[in-house]
Amino acid sequence: MISPDDLIALVRNYNPKTNADRIAEAYDFGEQMHDGQFRHSGEPYFTHPVAVAAILTEQRLDDATIITALLHDTIEDTKASYEEVERRFGGEVAMLVDGVTKLTNLQLSSRETKQAENFRKLFMAMSKDLRVILVKLADRLHNMRTIKAMRPEKQAQKARETMDIYAPLAGRMGMQWMREELEDLAFRVLNAEGRQSIIRRFVTLQRETGDVIHRITGDMRGELEKAGIEAEVFGRAKKPYSIWRKMQAKDQGFSRLSDIYGFRVITLSEEDAYRALGAIHQRWRAVPGRFKDYISQPKSNGYRSIHTTVSGRDGKRVEVQIRTRQMHDVAETGVAAHWSYRDGVRSENPFAVDPAKWIASLTEQFDAEDDHDEFLEAVKLEMYSDQVFCFTPKGDVIKLPKGATPIDFAYAIHTRIGSSCVGAKVDGIRVPLWTRLRNGQSVDVITAEGQTPQVSWLEIATTGKARTAIRRSLREADRARFVKLGHELARSAFEHVGKKATDKALETAARALRASGVDELLARLGAAEITAHDVVQSVYPELTSGDGDEISPRRAVIGLEPGQSFERAPCCQPLPGERIIGITYRGRGVVVHAADCDRLGEFEDQVERWVDVQWHSGTHPAAYGTTLELTIGNDAGVLGRICTLIGEKKANISDLEFVDRKPDFYRLMINVELRDVEQLHSLMLTLEAESDVAAVARFRERPEERHFPG
């Protein structure tokens, strides 16, 4: 375990003005609190917080972050309290330790919906102080380095969580070295055989070709010296997981992969970076389509570098990254560069991104997202995405993820532009909205007043911002439609009991059903979240309780065994007055089908399950749901008249769904609550007589549509 003096020495390497006494005090306090605790490997537990602190010194982080690393498990796993940490080390450290504790308690590998909720909390924690996630990432890195001490199933769980969440998050924050190591450590657990296979092939390749990295770095240094450019050159083989991912993406074997080596050129100035690019392209042939200039168009996390791929010795491709020292510092530590120290003072790196602005841009588009699964999808999409850079007609640069469309481009400019988009021109040519944009293209968005987002746009848009705005607009449009539909349903239901759906009656119903107002009540009614019967009953319970002479639905069927229950088959929805057949189900009682139901053919060989039943004679309440399929004219007032006709026939509408919309006709399903088959026939005759009703039929499922559980 690293001693306190050694840890302080690591900090002093980049921050001679560090408060050594405070770090030593935190070290002693953490060691005392974790005394008697051990890791799975048998080592004292405190070796872990010390290792996490050491990892953070590699990023030259401030004293508060180093102390947080030493104490990050004290509140959760020891008798130390928030108040004690705050008293000893101040509010800043206490807040950071508490933030890491809350992140640790998030079970990010649980079921998808819960995982999405926890992802939202993770981003909220990050938004308060990004150093919380820096400590958590270092914590995960050390745990992955020592994962072999865990049970195999626990190793697999942690490795999947690392691959899905922590590695891409580190990459999104610009900490590429950490992303690569986390991925490779997880790869070692999840596919040890695949990783070993790649390593063996590397060894074979080195044996056949010699030290390629040493030769190429020497050649590059020589070319740069000829051009009078002072620079450092480093080369390395790519990580096994990076190679594995390329093999999967390109569907190629190891022997056919060419760009398995990467080289970095670190120059003194930005001007030298472009001169170095020229020198390298003069000496080696550039590979078309493999050049990216992130200096003139930096990534959102502050990353700046020139990327190019050239054909090196023996036609082998190698990737080259060219950047200045300050750019390299940001490339190594990403967003963490904001807190980095150099020579005892906070590093004034002009390329370090403001973490507050970075996290705000990352979370803004998710704030209004209600669907947790879609939120998680958007977060992962944003974290894994590469970027393309397109231009507005005025020359402004818009950064988008790879695969973005003109819809994404329009919403990136402004939500209003996106919502009113009707088309786009790319490089002066009109293109479909689903066109995938490429680097350097100029995009001109065509808008029109009165245009609103379409449902189909959700299949076209790729960015979280665009998809969130589209869904929000569609929800608002649906709400207006549901309110209007709910008003018609309420009016019809109240008229059914001889009352009017007055404002006062609806306000009373809203309070009774715990809706925030009449509009919410009507929207819930229109969306079938509540029934019209519920609304009327909440105001006039005496009118909906039923006549004393009516037959209770619980005893409506004759022929059952004592204590045996029944339910109506959803496939045929039999009504009182129809001939019926019962089919027994273990644990469910008897399911009653209409005698002409096609589903009965499935039970021809199971006659022992058939029960001879019939409806009780007498008056039944209007409590039996039946679905009608209607095709009606698309004209003002038609739906209102249909609802009125149904109400006049003493039937209650419990649900309504549009299943097809055409410019001239609508097809919809209406679920009505009826007394018996006679009322059904009377209602259908009335609807058929309405001039705006093109067709009406009783809806019944065909055998291939649904199988009732046996």
Is pLDDT at 149 greater than 90 in this prediction?
A: no
pLDDT of residue 652: 87
Average pLDDT over residues 355-365: 56
> In this predicted model, what pLDDT tens digit does every residue of 609-640 receive, in sequence order?
888 888 876 778 888 999 999 998 887 788 88
Say yes or no: 104 and 212 in one domain.
no
Average pLDDT over residues 442-460: 86
pLDDT of residue 122: 63
Say yes or no: 512 and 585 in one domain.
no
Say yes or no: 498 and 576 in one domain.
no
Which range, of 204-213, 275-284, 453-462, 553-562, averages the lowest pLDDT?
A: 204-213
Average pLDDT over residues 638-644: 86
In a domain, 424, yes or no: no
Q: List the structure tokens of 157.
A: 């769980």
Q: Which of helix, strand or coil describes residue 529?
A: coil
Intra-chain end-to-end CA distance of the chain, in Å:
64
Is pLDDT at 71 greater than 90 in this prediction?
A: yes
Catalytic, 84? Answer no
CA–CA gap between residue 178 and residue 241 (Å, rounded): 13
**Cβ neighbours for 492, distance < 8 A, ≥ 6 positions apart:** 532, 643, 644, 646, 647, 652, 653
Is pLDDT at 66 greater than 90 in this prediction?
A: yes
In a domain, 231, yes or no: yes
Per-residue pLDDT band for 21 (boundaries 50, 70, 90) equals very high
Say yes or no: 497 and 598 in one domain.
no
Instruction: Output 533 or 653, whichever has higher pLDDT.
Output: 653
In a domain, 631, yes or no: no
Burial class (CB in 10 A: 0-12, 13-18, 19+), 344: exposed
Per-residue pLDDT band for 707 (boundaries 50, 70, 90) equals very low
> In this predicted model, what pLDDT tens digit does every residue of 33-42 receive, in sequence order?
999 999 888 8
Burial class (CB in 10 A: 0-12, 13-18, 19+), 463: buried
Other Cβ atoms less than 10 A from the Cβ of 698: the count is 15
In a domain, 302, yes or no: yes
Domain boundary (312, 346, 380) is at: 346
Q: List the structure tokens of 112.
A: 């998808």
Q: Which of helix, strand or coil describes residue 295?
A: coil
pLDDT of residue 229: 93
In a domain, 40, yes or no: yes
pLDDT of residue 255: 47
pLDDT of residue 314: 61
Domain boundary (276, 311, 346) is at: 346
Q: List the structure tokens of 341.
A: 């120290």
CA–CA gap between residue 475 and residue 596 (Å, rounded): 41
Looking at the 3D structure of the chain, how many domains does it have?
4
Is pLDDT at 445 greater than 80 in this prediction?
A: yes
Is pLDDT at 227 greater than 50 in this prediction?
A: yes
Which range, of 70-84, 338-352, 401-415, averages the lowest pLDDT?
A: 338-352
**Cβ neighbours for 480, distance < 8 A, ≥ 6 positions apart:** none
Say yes or no: 275 and 160 in one domain.
no
> In this predicted model, what pLDDT tens digit does every residue of 365-409 receive, in sequence order?
455 455 545 555 555 545 445 567 788 888 777 878 778 899 999
Q: Which of helix, strand or coil describes residue 597?
A: coil
Query: CATH number for the domain including 174?
Result: 1.10.3210.10
> In this predicted model, what pLDDT tens digit does every residue of 425-435 receive, in sequence order?
998 888 888 88
Percent of the chain with pLDDT over 70: 83
Which range, of 159-173, 379-393, 402-416, 450-464, averages the lowest pLDDT?
A: 379-393
Per-residue pLDDT band for 224 (boundaries 50, 70, 90) equals very high
pLDDT of residue 629: 92
Average pLDDT over residues 417-426: 91
Instruction: Please report, as a single letter, which amino acid is at residue 304.
Output: R
Say yes or no: 32 and 106 in one domain.
yes
In order of 484, 581, 608, 685, 692, the CA distances from 562 in angstroms are 47, 18, 18, 39, 49
Task: Name the residue with tokens 């705006």.
Answer: 692
Catalytic, 153? Answer no
In a domain, 437, yes or no: no
| Domain residue limits at 183 | 4-190
Average pLDDT over residues 517-527: 84
Say yes or no: 218 and 171 in one domain.
no
Say yes or no: 524 and 575 in one domain.
no
Q: List the structure tokens of 142.
A: 């050390």
pLDDT of residue 562: 73
> In this predicted model, what pLDDT tens digit does every residue of 88-122 receive, in sequence order?
999 999 988 888 887 776 655 544 444 555 556 56
Which residue in 43, 58, 76, 676 is the catalytic one?
Answer: 76
pLDDT of residue 588: 72
Say yes or no: 17 and 137 in one domain.
yes
CA–CA gap between residue 564 and residue 193 (Å, rounded): 59
CA–CA gap between residue 430 and residue 428 (Å, rounded): 7
pLDDT of residue 547: 45
Which residue in 77, 84, 219, 371 is the catalytic one?
Answer: 77
Percent of the chain with pLDDT over 90: 24
Average pLDDT over residues 152-175: 83
CA–CA gap between residue 525 and residue 528 (Å, rounded): 5
Say yes or no: 113 and 132 in one domain.
yes
Is pLDDT at 587 greater than 80 in this prediction?
A: no
Say yes or no: 135 and 205 in one domain.
no
pTM: 0.52
Say yes or no: 499 and 565 in one domain.
no
pLDDT of residue 248: 62
Task: Name the residue with tokens 């092939």.
Answer: 201
In a domain, 545, yes or no: no
**Ramachandran angles phi, psi of 321, nearest 5°:** -115, 130
In a domain, 16, yes or no: yes
Query: CATH number for the domain including 331?
Result: 3.30.460.10
